[in-house]
Amino acid sequence: MKPMLAMATIAGLAYAAAWAGEETVKLKDGPGLDKVRQNCVACHSLDYIPLNSPFLDKKGWEAVVAKMNKAFAAPITPEDATVISEYLAANYGKK
């Protein structure tokens, strides 16, 4: 097997294993959940959301999404960032 093909196969299997683990994280249904799934899992596990929910209010979630976009170069459009922040604040925001 050629080295590049072997690396691609290993990376694909690792991605599939990581993705399979995501199935166990059940996020609350609501408007914007699709954008969270489309954008957030590209860089980290969804456990991050309920894990941080006791600490973040609406402004906190907005700051987290902005940090992911600006500091970590997550390819989140401004429109998606708004929807994601609203979903997180509504479903996982500190009251």
Domain boundaries, the chain: 26-92
Interval 60-89 mean pLDDT: 95
16 or 61, higher pLDDT: 61
Confidence of residue 94 (pLDDT cuts 50, 70, 90): confident
Query: Tens digits of per-residue pLDDT, 8-60?
Result: 555 555 555 455 544 578 999 999 999 999 999 888 999 989 988 889 999 99
Q: Supply the pLDDT for residue 22.
A: 47
Residue 68: count other Cβ atoms within 10 Å of its Cβ.
Answer: 21
26-92 CATH choice from 1.10.760.10, 3.40.50.2020, 1.10.8.60, 1.25.40.10 = 1.10.760.10
Q: Mean pLDDT throughout 89-93?
A: 95
Placement of tokens 């992911």 in the chain: 68
